[in-house]
Amino acid sequence: MLSSSSGGFVILVVFLIGALLFAIGTVLARRERPRREEPVDESLVIAQPGSVADRLEMIERLVMVGQPWCVDELRALLERERDPLVRDAAEAALMVIGSRGPAG
């Protein structure tokens, strides 16, 4: 009976040491993480891809996400886009997102 309780005590001590090391590691990792002091330039979040295939892929991904910010990005794309294929894809994407109803 004595060895059973001492075995439990050893497991408890090992657990507490592991929890302490985990806590110390977490604190150190958070301390080393660089903090962003300047705001993110929103124009860099979704950059204008170069090729038509890249722009079509971006439109496809925006449709998959379907959030309100995607609609804003698609509308901005329509304002600056000259390629008819990409414009048609953006218009179709807006219709698909709109047919889903409000995002939530």
DSSP 57-93: HHHHHHHHH--HHHHHHHHHHHHH---HHHHHHHHHH
**Is 104 a member of any domain?**
no
| Same-domain pairing of 53 and 27 | no
Are 56 and 19 part of one and the same domain? no
pTM over 0.85: no
Please indicate, yes or no, whether residues 67 and 29 belong to a single structural domain of this protein. no
At 93, the pLDDT band (50, 70, 90 cuts) reads very high
Question: What is the span of the domain harbouring residue 68?
Answer: 45-99
In a domain, 40, yes or no: no
Above 60 in pLDDT, residue 47?
A: no
Number of domains in the chain: 2
Half-sphere exposure of 9 (CA within 13 A, CB side): 6
Question: What pLDDT score was predicted for residue 37?
Answer: 62
Dump pLDDT digits (tens) for 5-44. 788 888 999 999 988 888 888 777 776 655 556 665 555 5
Taking the C-alpha atoms of residue 63 and residue 89, their distance in angstroms, rounded to an integer, is: 10
Pair (23, 59) in one structural domain: no
Q: How far apart are CA 89 and CA 91, in angstroms?
A: 5
Same domain, 70 and 24: no
